[in-house]
Amino acid sequence: MLSTINSPRDLLSLDIGGLQRLAQEIRQEIIETVAANGGHLAPNLGVVELTLALHRVFQSPRDKIIWDVGHQCYAHKMITGRRAAFRTLRQYGGISGFPRPQESEHDVFATGHSSTSISAALGLALARDLKGEDYAVVAVIGDGAMTGGMAFEALNHAGQVKTNLIVVLNDNEMSISPNVGALAQYLSRLRTDPMYSKGKEEIEQLLKRIPTIGPRVARAVERIKDALKYLVVPGMFFEELGFIYLGPIDGHNLRAMIKVFEQARSTKGPVLVHVLTRKGKGYPPAEKNADKYHGVGPFDIKTGQVKKKPGEPPSYTEVFGRTLVELGRRDRRIVAITAAMPSGTGLDLFASAFPERFFDVGIAEQHAVTLGAGLAAGGFRPVVAIYSTFLQRAYDQIIHDVCLQNLPVTLVLDRGGLVGEDGATHHGAFDFAYLRCIPNMVVMAPANENELRRMLLTALMHPGPAALRYPRGAGTGCPLDEEILPLPLGKAEVLREGDDLTVLAVGSMVPLAAEAASLLEREGVQATVINARFVKPLDEECIIRYAVRTRRLLTVEEHALQGGFGGAVLELLADRGIQGVKVTRLGIPDEFIQHGSRATLLARCGLTVENLVNAALELVGAKRVLLGKSLAGVQG
């Protein structure tokens, strides 16, 4: 049946039974594709019927559907003309795992970060009103995203302006009680029936006309009515914000959802539809462990086991998690904070070991950072672990609440650099730039897992704010020192000496630089290789000494070239008045890098051993080029 669906209009020819069979086929396609490619499994399996009901009632792309976060849009993509391309999901050159307007007119708004849908939807609704147009706008937001403050800011504004807007709250945590559900559906129909509103006004006017006691009786009835509504009507919070509340509705009952969406569409003003779904529905391993299967790598469908490369070393995330537990045993002042990602950041280990010192604040990065500032002001040593891309949401808090007061908050940025298949919304390409410009901030990037351990201790011993960032995925497999020792603040490490040029590398690019230097030596080019370790403060004495000595610098970083580590080196040379040094910078070019495997994207940006060798040969004026020339992501 899925092969016959080329646009949402094709859903109109299906009865409820046909839609249910289509839902089963969509689930199977999602399971098979994610098993092969990796992706967001559980959230997508949970919204199949919800997606079909939305597209059955609303006429996309004329009506606008905005998916919050966007990791539940797979069924939407399949029925909006991308069915044939679905097996390319998250592959380089294939379709994105998130809504992307460049892909389809049905993807109205690009999403990837949480809690933005209601704001975007309200903006589209107001644009519609200003232009005198007539179409529906629907925001689909999960209960997890509702922990983000931005969602409530938007709800508050939407209730104030009273324009036509539909918010679908996809709640996959609460169970549904048939009695409460039936009562809620009845009251929803009653409250949105025009006859109800008219009758209510007429009764109020009649009561007020009763001589002497009429106004008091009317007020008493109103108080009793409100008290009863608070007792029996769910969603009064949303009604107080100015929304008409419909639900809760079984999110896997197509007939019920189609009916309530039709009702919502015909209702004037802002409406909130509360839909109850089961995350991972249709695939038992995902139903039993929705957190594990929220975002997953390729896996075996029969067993549900994620496929791992044999002998793969532990990830940076795992090493960080274990190290923090080790340090937490030594120092009771260490506390850990996450924004709804305890397992994703490795803090689940700390939470298990020290539950009283662990805080999961939900999807609220701003609060997480300022909570850390408050704990630091109270004498603790908070570690705030957030993906690099998500920490961008708390920028003012880093400046105003942490750095301005010079508080000892340690920011741990997982997924620094190119993350791979999740694409542009999730790459951590800007953290060096947005952190190194802030006074009092220390910025570090480890070259391997052992250095990560040492940097974490260094940050926790530092009397002010410090940040360390590391890449996604497996580490280098290097041995770990039994005793963790701190690093001297702001000091680089010279890995090898050479007189022809200096390669300044930071973080994940250090192993590549060392390998490239070995290849260059075979070509008669002697390179000094420096592991910078610190983006701020730079080891100025070391950098200047080798810059003057070799007169050629090659900087390498898994970060945007604009404002990054290479830019900091250029600033240093300019500030010290050092001239006559040729500098080439390798990094991520000035564009948003799309999705694909991390190895593919690194090659796309020129961050490979081969490209590093070629850039070095060009810098020293060699006429030969090794291993195929590719100078993407290079600025001289």
Residue 403, sorted as left (phi over 0), alpha (psi -120 to 50) or beta, turns out to be alpha
> What does the alpha-carbon distance between residue 413 and residue 410 come to, in Å, rounded to a whole number?
10
Catalytic choice (128, 393, 536, 552): 393
Q: Catalytic residue, from 365, 421, 449, 610: name it.
A: 365
Separation CA 32–CA 40 (nearest Å): 12
Element (H, E) at 328: helix 316-330
> Residue 76, CB half-sphere, CA atoms under 13 Å: how many?
32
> How many helices (DSSP H) and strands (DSSP E) are in the chain?
24, 18
Cα–Cα distances in Å, from 515 out to 206, 477, 505, 518? 88, 16, 12, 5
Kindly name the residue from 64, 128, 279, 585 that is annotated as catalytic: 279
Active site residue 545: no
Contact 371, 395 (CB under 8 A): no
Q: For residues 485 and 430, is the Cβ–Cβ distance under 8 A?
A: no
Other beta carbons within 10 angstroms of residue 259's beta carbon come to 16
Smallest CA-to-CA distance from 527 within 548, 513, 510 is with 513
The count of residues in the chain is 636
DSSP string, 528-578: EEEE--EEES--HHHHHHHHHHHSEEEEEEEEESTTSHHHHHHHHHHHTT-
393 is catalytic: yes
C-beta atoms surrounding 472 within 10 Å = 22
In whole angstroms, give the CA distance from residue 492 to residue 446. 11
- Three-state DSSP class for residue 467: strand
- Distance, in Å, from the CA atom of 582 to the CA atom of 460, rounded to the nearest integer, reads 37
CA-based R_g, the chain, Å:
28
Label the pairing between strands 137-142 and 334-338: unpaired
| Residues taking part in catalysis | 279, 365, 393
